[in-house]
Amino acid sequence: MAYCSATGTKTTRQALQKAGWRALAVATGHNWDSQPFLPYALDNGAWSAHVNGKPFDVGAFERLLNWSGSCPVRPDWCVLPDIVGGGLKSLDFSLSWLDVVSKFSELNLLAVQDGMTPADVDGLVGSGIGIFVGGSTEWKLKTLGDWGRFCRGRCYLHVGRVNTVRRITYCSNAGADSFDGTSVCRFPVNLGRLERARRQQGFQF
């Protein structure tokens, strides 16, 4: 499954809808309720805050949860709040939010970070908790195969920041269930190329 960061551009949303893509509603973003309405997942906004040199915005994340709670459609999943590059400290932070977020989403994803290994989350994942491969780009690509083998037959696997054909191939090889990116939101012309790659790699919608 492919997710694109939420965009308010109607023509882009229509193209995403036709292609079977879904929206990633980011806490620090906008356009959550733009039309046509797309099936969606929730992102806590930690990466966006990190890139902009800001702390995690608790208020923005809580507003996103409340918005989702008012929607007639439940989210596919939600990324639990995390600390970018925070290792095991990030894992503890994510788990501290689990009870709150579980009220809004039946499937919640632990964002694994640089330095973490499958052994760190063994026993935590299952039908209601999956893995979101975050972290630095270098670490993500280096360890993606390990996370794929760990999650196979055990839990849901999502990969963040996938904006090229090559990375879609990496996701497919790892057995990922879904991926997200900003490429189509920023440059709608890229949808055709990325959608062809998604279908060639066997991602379904």
Tens of pLDDT, residue by residue over 157-174, are 999 999 999 999 999 999
Q: Is the pLDDT of residue 203 over 70?
A: no
Backbone conformation region of residue 175, classed left if phi is above 0, alpha if psi is from -120 to 50, else beta: left
pTM for the full model? 0.95
E strand or H helix at 180, and its extent? strand 178-181
Mean pLDDT, rounded, for 132-153: 96
- DSSP 8-state secondary structure symbol assigned to residue 188: G
| Contact between residue 83 and residue 89 where contact means Cβ atoms under 8 Å apart | yes
Quick one: pLDDT at residue 201? 78
pLDDT in tens, 2-39: 999 989 999 999 999 999 999 999 999 989 989 999 99
Mean pLDDT, rounded, for 69-96: 96
| Distant-in-sequence, close-in-space partners of 153: CB < 8 Å, separation ≥ 6 | none
Q: Is the pLDDT of residue 69 over 90?
A: yes
Q: Is the pLDDT of residue 205 over 50?
A: no
Structure tokens at 149: 């083998």
CB neighbour class for 96 (10 Å; exposed up to 12, middle 13-18, buried from 19): exposed
Q: Is the pLDDT of residue 193 over 70?
A: yes
